[in-house]
Every structure is written in structure tokens, then in C-alpha cells.
Amino acid sequence: MPPFSSYTEPPLMQSFNINLSLSLSLSLSLWCEFASEVIHSRRIQKLMGDISVSNGISNGNGVNGKNHSLNGYRKSCWYEEEIEENLRWCFALNSILHTGASQFQDIALLDTKPFGKALVIDGKLQSAETDEFIYHESLVHPALLYHPNPKTLFIMGGGEGSTAREILRHKTVEKVSMCDIDEEVVDFCRSYLVVNREAFCDPRVELIINDARAELESRKECFDVIIGDLADPIEGGPCYKLYTKSFYEYTVKPRLTRNGVFVTQAGPAGIFSHTEVFSCIYNTLKQVFKYVVPYSAHIPSYADTWGWVMASDVPFCLSAEEFDLRMKQRIKGENRYLDGRTFASASTLSKAVRTSLENETQVYTEGAARFIYGHGRQNQD
């Protein structure tokens, strides 16, 4: 099938010839509206080069730095993500700032109208400028605040730099080892995500390009907190093996200090979507650690509630007031989203989700893996 659906131009439309060369996955699509017509690029598959539109796109900053116009016919261009087979989520674009492909993943940086700059990897939106603080504050701060004195941290993934940025706000932190397998993603984010440049330059940050499993297994030292800021477990993606029981039990847990805390992003956690991977990751960590806390928050750019799971062999015993006191004592600056009462709410899941988690029986293994909807590069080749 060609990468674009067939299109018969209306009488008043000039010919429309798009040569899209985005290295994006199956689930990423672009729409352009012209007058009352919608031209839909169905599934952009492994396209290489620049975006060009023969009769133009006027995108402010342009597409890949080029300015175009549609001779008065253009309304807007749209990004679309296929969330599941019968459900898609789309929003308007100002421009496509950059696209690329690494050995492991397809990458795009979009300038969206509702959410600002947005990072897309393998056709899945990773973070957006206007609401990434919800995800990263939720991922980082609970684990560090529950630990009595977090000094050394290891980030699995996190090439975007936002997780390191939030960690470095903690006054106790002495060293952050950030390990991402994809050097091109790291370089891409360091170049284009200005908000995180200070984090990349901080002398406390050790940047490692390696597989997180191999890196942890080669290390002799232990860490106070290990954070899984990995890409979603999608079929054919590079990360799903880092959500397995064997990885948690034999690689992560031995690298934690006595009071150590592990936390991972755990995929969609909505009323319908939590059974994709969230419940399974929770149940898997229950097999490895004594104390496991699932929690979630709505992230507008994801069009869903998102989940995290925190685990330790030491109980999590902080009231909302104690949580806030530690924030005041330890963290530089004010959080925009998270405080003690917010975390208490986030870790109080709905009845339906609680019931699913309590009844979950599957343990995540390489042979019995669950995936969120979508496909990584390896599955497209």
C-alpha cells in the first residue's frame, strides 16, 4: 500500500503532491485540511528525507526550516496518533521542527498548537511542552521523597533530560547516572529541548550510552533510587525486556541500597486502558518487592490517565503533611503539580482499577509480555 490514501481533487483544488519523508512509525499520521476537504496520509511508514508540498504549507517556522504556502487553500495540518484500533487522537500543528531515525527508533519533534513542542518516538508522543511537568514530577519526586536521604540515582532511559532536571532539584543528590541506549535520541533532545540543557551540563550528571540492563549488571555500586523512564513496552520496541520479573529481581533489586526505592513509568492507567500493561507491571513488581505503590495522573497530551509504580523493601510511610515538609526542606523551587495531597489522591485509584490490580495474575516475562498498542521499528522491518 502506498503511504498516502488516494485522493481526487475537487474542481477548485490545485493538484496536491506531498512527498512526506518522516521517519515515523505505522501509527503516526498527518492530516492537512484545505477548504472543506481533508487529505489524510494513512500510515506513514519508513519515509526518508524532507517534507515538501508542491503547492506549499505555510507553517510559521516552516517544515524542516522551509516556508511554504497553499495558495490560500490551507486551513491547518494535524498530527494523529492511533491509540488503539478504533481510536485515534489528533491535534493541530504549527510545524514539524525535525525528524530523524536512529538505529533503534524513529524520532520527530513537532510544534503543536495545543501542547507546544512535542517529542514523538516510534509514533508515540513521549512528552509535550505544556504538560510534561505532570509526568516528570510524578515519576521523580515521590520516590526521592520517600527515601530518607537520596544521594545516588540511576535513570534507565531518560534521554530527553527532563527526569534528570527534576532529580537535580533535590538538594541531597550528589550523582545521577543517566543510561540511554540511543545516543541519537539523546543528542536530538540535547539540541532541540532547550529547557533541559542545564541538566545535561550539570557536573553531577553522568551520561552513559548503553543498554540499561548491561550497564546495571556491569556496575558494582548500588543506588539509592533507580528510575525507569523507559519507552513504552510496544511490540518490536527496544524496551519491553526491561519490564520483566527477571530484570527487576536479578538486575534492578541487587543494585539498590538498603533503603533503596525503584520507580517506573507503567503505561496507560485509564479506566479502560490500565489492563494493557499497568496492572501486569504492578503485579510483576509485587513478586519482587515487599511494598508496591501504584499511582496515576491525567496527562492531557496523552489523552489518557498515566501510571507509575513505586517499589521497595522498606514501607512507604509518609503522611501528606510529612510529604510536603520534605518537599519544602529538600527541593529547590516550587512544583507545579505534585504535593502531598496530590500524591495521596494519585495513589488512591478508582474502584475498577483497584479491582483489576488485585485480580491481576499475569507476571511480565519475555515469553509472556504485554504491549501497549503500536509497533516499534523492528516490527516494521
Q: Which of the residues are catalytic?
A: 229
For the ranges 41-55, 252-266, 357-371, the one whose mean pLDDT is highest: 252-266
Q: What is the pLDDT of residue 34?
A: 43
Residue 292: which H helix or E strand, with range? strand 291-299
Q: Give Cβ neighbours of residue 140 (< 8 Å, ≥ 6 apart).
A: 163, 166, 167, 227, 263
Sorting pLDDT into bands at 50, 70 and 90, what band is 23? very low
Sorting pLDDT into bands at 50, 70 and 90, what band is 123? confident
Out of 3-17, 100-114, 131-145, least confident range: 3-17
For 118-177, the DSSP string reads EEEETTEEEEETTTHHHHHHHHHHHHHHHSSS--EEEEEE-TTSHHHHHHTTBTT--EEE
Residue 284: which H helix or E strand, with range? helix 278-286
What is the Rg, in whole angstroms, of the alpha carbon atoms belonging to the chain? Answer: 21
Q: Kindly report the CA angle at 41 between 36 and 44, in degrees rounded to 5?
A: 160
Q: What is the pLDDT of residue 376?
A: 59
DSSP-assigned beta bridge partners for residue 261: 225, 312
Out of 102-116, 246-260, 335-349, least confident range: 102-116
Out of 3-7, 52-56, 86-90, 297-301, least confident range: 52-56
Please give the mean pLDDT across all residues of the chain: 82
Q: What is the pLDDT of residue 75?
A: 58
Q: Is the pLDDT of residue 379 over 50?
A: no
Under a CB-based contact definition with an 8 Å cutoff, are residues 380 and 46 in contact?
A: yes
* Mean pLDDT along residues 294-305: 97
Q: What is the pLDDT of residue 321?
A: 98
* Mean pLDDT along residues 229-244: 86
Residue 227: which H helix or E strand, with range? strand 223-229
* Mean pLDDT along residues 360-372: 91
Under a CB-based contact definition with an 8 Å cutoff, are residues 91 and 114 in contact?
A: yes
Q: What is the pLDDT of residue 377?
A: 56
Sorting pLDDT into bands at 50, 70 and 90, what band is 187? very high
* Mean pLDDT along residues 217-226: 97
> For residues 86 and 208, which has the higher predicted lDDT (pLDDT)?
208
Q: Is the pLDDT of residue 24 over 80?
A: no
In tens, the pLDDT along 247-293 reads 999 999 999 999 999 999 999 999 999 999 999 999 999 999 999 99
Q: Kindly report the CA angle at 207 between 202 and 209, in degrees rounded to 5?
A: 160
* Mean pLDDT along residues 290-319: 97
Helix (H, G, I), strand (E, B) or coil at 81: strand
Q: Is the pLDDT of residue 33 over 90?
A: no
pTM score: 0.82
